[in-house]
Amino acid sequence: MDNRPIGVFDSGLGGLTAVRELRRILPGEDIIFFGDTGRVPYGSRSPHIIKEYAKQCMDFLEKQDVKMILVACGTVSSVLGEKIGEGRKIPCIGVLEPTVKAAVSATKNKNIGLIATMATVASGSYEKLTAKLMPEANFTGKGCPLFVPLVENGYFASDCEVTRLVAKDYLSAFEGKDIDTLILGCTHYPLLYNLIDSITEYKLNLIDSGKEAALGAKALLEERDMLSGWRKIGGMKFFVTDKEEGFAKLGKEFLGEELSDVTRVEIEEL
Amino acid sequence: MDNRPIGVFDSGLGGLTAVRELRRILPGEDIIFFGDTGRVPYGSRSPHIIKEYAKQCMDFLEKQDVKMILVACGTVSSVLGEKIGEGRKIPCIGVLEPTVKAAVSATKNKNIGLIATMATVASGSYEKLTAKLMPEANFTGKGCPLFVPLVENGYFASDCEVTRLVAKDYLSAFEGKDIDTLILGCTHYPLLYNLIDSITEYKLNLIDSGKEAALGAKALLEERDMLSGWRKIGGMKFFVTDKEEGFAKLGKEFLGEELSDVTRVEIEEL
């Protein structure tokens, strides 16, 4: 048993969809969330910058005495890959491994698709891990750079014409690929679940990376006997690098609950 | 006469539309451009963060021994307002003042509109300066947070259905306001000039902040006898805080020429 909080890190708001799943799956856990809202988005940046920012943010969480870090950011998880916990004293898990495992387990015809940020697709991490776990799989990845700004600006309703047009454009990359499973490789994308499900005519297994990461965190804590068993409902604290108000307001949409304890951290102090 | 280069600063790529105008208006000047591509976009961030980033970037330009700084970023210009050159040894000019002057001079019915980033509109700078220069003017501002990501992802053709839908949505804020002049208050927006002109049925004076800022820089240098008179075509150097390749490729669309001399600067060295 370990009563310290779980640390969750994302470049911005998206990771709150993973926190939402954590709350559902492990309601008794305390959670400390760190969102680098002063430097979001990461998904269009180069690996060098992403690694530097991620190190600072994970260092911050480690200093908060968390028992593990869940990197609830598809971009950071992909760019760090297997090195996600390198040099850390606590276990670290990203969205990559649990998500690919879920996709490989869901597919019937072994044709798997990925939609994610440009940096995630360019990293090749999803493709490599899929090839490792299912060498005979066909993998197609498509970068969708406008999805994050669309979601962050509230354009995520299932009937939103703008986002439907953009999504149809992006999803045309899978024409002729006969995929039966599509990984939503960015933690912003669960807010587009209904829209994407409707455009793909409810035919695909949509794999939600936030949910899979939360399940991965649960498995990790169980395996190491690190669950905190006695609380009914854990507490949550949020740290961000830009203003608190905007984060708390939009964050509610992502989290499905009020964000009452939000603190701004100076970037130069990271 | 002053043969040192002009420094131009933007949060990302947008400022290159101002550089394009500088090249047209003052072809003999050397230009050093600094784009904070590692932390773009600024337009959705809070004033505190924007001021901190702007100070670092303008310090960098001053160290390059430029003779003046043109802040070719609507967001930074608005947030800094009249304090744009505070504490600097060289003259600094933003897009705010020349753009508002041009709008006030262009309007016939004194109903002026502004489209810009959320931070620019929230700063109130355009509204305040318009009221100062034309107290009887009616001013309407509208934040357009999706325009920058749309432009940066290549969605700027005049017939782009996605951007037309988004633009119609944003421009509906001016219904019933009878504006005859619309300020494009972000240096990304000149790439949407044709699209916006077509949606507004070619009826409005569209004020391009990049062009007005370049004209403002020319006036400033003339007034202080700081033009460099003897070159036929000046040189250009570009510094960015994220990878050079992506910047050079998309930058060509903004600048209208090849970007041959691009160097990456480490953010922690700023």
User: B242: which chain A residues are within 8 Å (Cβ-Cβ)?
Assistant: 45-46, 49
Q: Is B46's CB within 8 Å of A243's CB?
A: yes
Tens of pLDDT, residue by residue over B242-253, are 988 888 988 998
Q: Is A146's CB within 8 Å of B145's CB?
A: no
pLDDT at residue B230 greater than cutoff 80: no
Residue A68, SS3 per DSSP: strand
DSSP-derived secondary structure for A146-207: THHHHHHTT--STT-HHHHHHHHHHHGGGTTS--SEEEE-STTGGGGHHHHHHHTTT-SEEE
Q: How many CA atoms lie within 13 A of B75 on its CB side?
A: 31
DSSP-derived secondary structure for B179-191: -SEEEE-STTGGG
Class of domain A6-94+211-269: alpha beta
Tens of pLDDT, residue by residue over A219-237, are 999 999 999 977 778 999 9
Tens of pLDDT, residue by residue over B175-221, are 999 999 999 999 999 999 999 999 999 999 999 999 999 999 999 99
Per domain, the residue ranges of chain A are 6-94+211-269, 97-209
Structure tokens at B6: 């002009």
Q: For A56, which residue in chain B has the nearest alpha carbon?
A: B268
Cβ-based neighbour number of residue A173 at 10 Å: 15
Q: Is A242's CB within 8 Å of B150's CB?
A: no
Of A45, A243, A246, the CB nearest to B38: A45
The pLDDT value recorded for residue B195 is 98
Say if CB A75 and CB A50 are below 8 A apart. yes
Q: What is the pTM of this model?
A: 0.90
How far are the Cα atoms of A98, A110, A111, A204 from residue A105, in angstroms, in the given order?
A: 11, 10, 12, 14
The pLDDT value recorded for residue B227 is 94
Q: How would CATH label the architecture of B97-209?
A: 3-Layer(aba) Sandwich (3.40)
Q: Is B243's CB within 8 Å of A149's CB?
A: no
The pLDDT value recorded for residue B30 is 96
- A57 in catalytic set: no
| C-alpha distance from B119 to closest chain A C-alpha (Å) | 12
Dihedral sign for Cα B87, B92, B96, B98, please.
positive
Q: Are strands B111-116 and B138-143 parallel, antiparallel or unpaired?
A: parallel
User: A38: which chain B residues are within 8 Å (Cβ-Cβ)?
Assistant: 45, 49
Fold agreement (B6-95+211-269, B97-209): yes
Q: Tell me how far the alpha carbon of residue B198 is from its chain's centroid.
A: 22
| B6-95+211-269 fold | Rossmann fold (3.40.50)
Each residue's pLDDT expressed in tens, for chain A with a length of 270 residues: 999 999 999 998 899 999 999 999 999 999 999 999 999 889 889 999 999 999 999 999 999 999 999 999 999 999 999 999 999 999 999 999 999 999 999 999 999 999 999 999 999 999 999 999 999 999 999 999 999 999 989 999 999 999 999 999 999 999 999 999 999 999 999 999 999 999 999 999 999 999 999 999 999 999 999 999 777 789 999 999 998 888 898 899 899 999 999 999 988 888
Of B45, B145, B166, the CB nearest to A242: B45
Say if CB A32 and CB A64 are below 8 A apart. yes
**Chain A with chain B: Cβ pairs closer than 8 A:** 53
| C-alpha distance from A24 to closest chain B C-alpha (Å) | 31
User: A49: which chain B residues are within 8 Å (Cβ-Cβ)?
Assistant: 38, 241-243, 267
